[in-house]
Amino acid sequence: MKLTLYYFSGCPFCGRVLAFVEEHGVSLEKRNIHESDAIKQELLEIGGKSQVPCLVVEGKPIYESMDIIEWLRENVVRSK
Ligand SMILES: N[C@@H](CCC(=O)N[C@@H](CS)C(=O)NCC(=O)O)C(=O)O
């Protein structure tokens, strides 16, 4: 399953998700929207807004840090 997390450094909500990812050893691709306009544009095209964090699961966006953590807990951590 392809997981991509859009984030930027210094965003506290992103930090909360990244801490969970680190703690549970979740494997995903991280894309920093402050790294390039192309990455930010990519997120806009997938999710329709530039809010981060956003987890993209097989092309489907999930916004809201707590929803992302819950999704990861249910679908990745539990099945490990
Ligand atoms: N309730 C959201 C808050 C996310 C949020 O406010 N993110 C900020 C960065 S810290 C953001 O992306 N702001 C710009 C925007 O909404 O386009 C969550 O928990 O994920």
Ligand 1 is surrounded, with C-beta below 6 A, by 11-13, 49-53, 64-65
| CB environment 52-61: b (16+ within 10 A), e (fewer) | bbbbbbeeeb
Q: What is the pLDDT of residue 80?
A: 72
54 secondary structure, DSSP code: E
Q: What is the pLDDT of residue 59?
A: 94
Distance 14 CA to ligand 1 centre (A): 8
| pLDDT tens for each residue of 35-53 | 999 999 999 999 999 999 9
Distance 6 CA to ligand 1 centre (A): 11
**What does the domain layout of the chain look like in residue ranges?**
3-77
Domain 3-77 belongs in CATH node 3.40.30.10: yes
Distance 12 CA to ligand 1 centre (A): 9
- Chain centroid to CA 33: 11
Helical H segments across 25-64, by residue range: 37-47
